[in-house]
Amino acid sequence: MSTIPVYALYGEQVASQDWLHWESIQSRSRLYGYRIAPHRHEQFFQVLHLTGGWAGVTLDDGKFDIRREGVVVVPALTVHGFAFSDDVEGIVVTLMERDLVGLGLDLPGPMVLQGAAFEVGEALDRLIAEADRPGAGHEAAMRALITLLLVALTRAQREGRPGGEVADRALLHAKAFRTLVDHQFRQSRKIGEYADQLGISQTHLNRVSREVLGASALEVIERRIALEARRMLLFSSLSIKEIGAELGYEDPAYFSRVLTRVLGMSPAAFRKEALGQ
């Protein structure tokens, strides 16, 4: 496999999509022998709510084991794959990520929640019910219910983590910066270019990035590059030089040094260790 497959829904190159698509995990996985090979979606944001059986989850370079109950969140472009038991129960809800952007909330990152997640389950049930039986004010209802789902996921993700109040302006700048990085990390690694687009100084961008994201602006960019590199090292047969070129690095040696700094080992060692070679 030279590239990571990008599907609409798994196994489909084109999918009809209104506000959402939903189906049982059983119905989709049964078609593929309860094994879903690693792939990703360009535009979809998926939430899987497991309520019975077992799931082995691959999420980027992480592997997780869910028994009976759990939630998996898969944002667009996240590499993911599954192995399910044949008695698996639960649902998978697929949303267009473009519908989530602009609701005023940060989108949750890739995550796996172990155990019961009642608030998430209730939010999904209400969302599906409205999608299946649209009534008056359907558009407004869908936006409101998607917002409630994002709130439930964000609360679940942050549960048990210490947090504090951060200035609204800093949050907005950090969110905008991260969005720019997601879209432009292949083209630019220059802090000044990102700062100019945000209308702030490089110094202020670094301060906001450290305060909200916990890393310098350059570290945020390099971590995003490293995330994509990890995906390609694990799920493609491209050489390290080819991966570097795909990610905008003309000098393979420099690309290797950057990845070694972020990953804590060389890209060749990372690939060998991750694949058990």
Break the chain into its structural domains and give their ranges.
6-158, 168-274
39 pairs with which residues across the strands? Answer: 80
Each residue's pLDDT tens digit in the chain (277 positions)? 445 555 555 555 434 446 789 999 999 899 999 999 998 888 899 999 999 999 999 988 788 999 888 999 998 888 899 999 999 999 999 998 888 887 878 888 888 988 878 889 999 999 999 988 888 888 899 999 999 999 999 888 776 333 344 446 787 888 889 889 988 999 999 999 999 999 999 999 999 888 878 889 999 999 999 999 998 998 889 999 999 999 999 999 999 999 999 989 999 999 988 877 6
| Architecture field, domain 6-158 | Sandwich (2.60)
pLDDT at 155: 85
Q: Looking at this protein, which amino acid is placed at residue 47?
A: V
* The pLDDT of residue 164: 40
* Closest C-alpha to 268, from 244, 233, 232, 243: 233
Kindly indicate whether the domain formed by 168-274 is annotated with CATH number 1.10.10.60: yes
DSSP H helix total and E strand total for the chain? 11, 10
Task: Specify the pLDDT at position 53.
Answer: 94
Sign of CA dihedral 79, 46, 90, 121: positive
Token pair belonging to 17: 């999509």
pTM for this prediction: 0.65
Structure tokens at 101: 């952007």
What does the pLDDT read at residue 259? 93
DSSP string across 118-181: HHHHHHHHHHHHHHHS--TTHHHHHHHHHHHHHHHHHHHHHTT-------HHHHHHHHHHHHHH
pLDDT for position 152: 92
pLDDT at 5: 59
